[in-house]
Amino acid sequence: MSTIFSGIQPSGELHIGNYLGAVKNWVELQSKYECIYCIVDYHAIIGDFEPESLRRRTRQMAVSLMAAGIDPAKSTLFVQSMVPEHTELAWIFNTVTPVGELERQTQYKDKSQRQESVNAGLLIYPVLQAADILLYRADLIPVGEDQVQHLELARDVARKWNAKFASEYFPEPKPLLTATRRIMGLDGQAKMSKSLGNTIGLLESQEDVWAKLRPAVTDPARVRKTDPGTPEVCNIYNLHKAFNDAATVEHVATQCRTAGWGCIDCKKVLMDGMMRELTPIRERARELEAHPEIVTDALAAGAAKSGEIARRTMTTVRETMGLR
Ligand code: TRP
């Protein structure tokens, strides 16, 4: 059976963009595969950060994931720094990774351009990611388009290490692309992202969600309620497709094209669909916040389980390479 591995940054509470684009799929995969999900705090220390904020965001991410349906009884959920073998394998992989390939990574080029002093961590970020995956010899990696290049590098690292030390020990991991198109932010301009402040949090109250949804950008052609619109260009329509059934989505499209509804009417129907899905998640999160030991215990159990696999892999890797 395939092993699934994926990682998510400790960015605090999930927003509906990461939920629809990634985590919802992770939840579904749990019943089909052996799944390992990791909150990647070692990756999160490359830029500036406050230690207390990192700790809080890591915790909030764990709560969000469990509330969204990542079930520690079905899959392994843990925090990367609780299994330090990730960094050990990353060091070993650094020694088989050409710098040129790291410099060609689009994400590195984008990020390094915007900084006057680039730390080595930013360059070797994808090597740590390769170690995350290969430590568990995972072969299927649910990610978005933006991570495909990093996975190519992980395959390359596996191939190079295998060629040098032990052919076929590490499998070459393949991306499992998520079907959902990327979710645009409420500004309708850019991908939904916390740093752009265009998100809806997964755990926000109904009132707070509505306060954000009400002024959200729609089809600019609909200036007046009587102006007909084009659903396909509207970000709100896109969200209907994520939260409402096909019949409702079709009705929404017709009401938009014929100016039967104004945008506020349309958003109210979206709101109903969203709350149907998000209210139980929010309630589970409140429950977990009231009983923090549930989350602490789940993460400890997850780290014990993944740590066992990681230590086994590292024993083989060290022995094969003549270390110790
Ligand atoms: N780089 C990924 C992101 O920013 C996070 C990540 C780290 C990851 N390690 C991983 C994803 C391993 C998949 C597999 O989204």
Q: Is 111 a catalytic residue?
A: yes
> What is the whole-number distance in angstroms between the Cα of residue 141 and the centre of ligand 1?
9
| Mutate-to-test residue for ligand 1 from 3, 4, 8, 76, highest number of ligand atoms within 8 A of CB | 8
Could you tell me how many residues make up the chain? 324
Q: Which tokens go with 50?
A: 């406050």
Which residue's CA is minimally distant from atom 11 of ligand 1? 7
Query: What 3-state class would DSSP assign to 76?
Result: strand
How many angstroms separate the CA atoms of 108 and 106, rounded? 5
Q: Is 173 in the pocket of ligand 1 (CB under 6 A)?
A: no
| Mutate-to-test residue for ligand 1 from 39, 40, 137, highest number of ligand atoms within 8 A of CB | 40
In the prediction, which pLDDT does 317 show?
98
Q: Is 64 in the pocket of ligand 1 (CB under 6 A)?
A: no
In the prediction, which pLDDT does 182 show?
78
Is residue 184 within 8 A of residue 192, CB to CB? The reply is yes
- For 248-300, what is each residue's pLDDT tens digit? 999 999 999 999 999 999 999 999 999 999 999 999 999 999 999 999 999 99
| Cα torsion through 281, 282, 286, 289, rounded to 10 | 70
Which residue's CA is minimally distant from atom 14 of ligand 1? 6
In the prediction, which pLDDT does 324 show?
81
Exposure of 114 in the CB half-sphere (CA atoms within 13 A): 7
Q: Is 194 a catalytic residue?
A: yes
In the prediction, which pLDDT does 93 show?
98
Q: Which residues of the chain have pLDDT under 50?
A: none
> What is the whole-number distance in angstroms between the Cα of residue 44 and the centre of ligand 1?
11
Cα R_g (the chain), whole angstroms:
22
Domains identified in the chain and CATH numbers: 3-183+292-321 (3.40.50.620), 204-285 (1.10.240.10)
How many angstroms separate the CA atoms of 248 and 260, rounded? 14
In the prediction, which pLDDT does 89 show?
98
The H or E element spanning position 103 is helix 99-103
For CA atoms 291, 303, 66, 43, give the dihedral sign. positive
Facing residues of 37 across strands? 6, 77
In the prediction, which pLDDT does 94 show?
98
**Catalytic entry in 74, 111, 160, 212:** 111
In the prediction, which pLDDT does 304 show?
98
Those residues whose C-beta lies under 8 Å from the C-beta of residue 28, and which sit 6 or more positions away, are none
Q: Is 164 a catalytic residue?
A: no
Q: Is 133 in the pocket of ligand 1 (CB under 6 A)?
A: yes
| Mutate-to-test residue for ligand 1 from 150, 177, 191, 192, highest number of ligand atoms within 8 A of CB | 150
In the prediction, which pLDDT does 80 show?
98
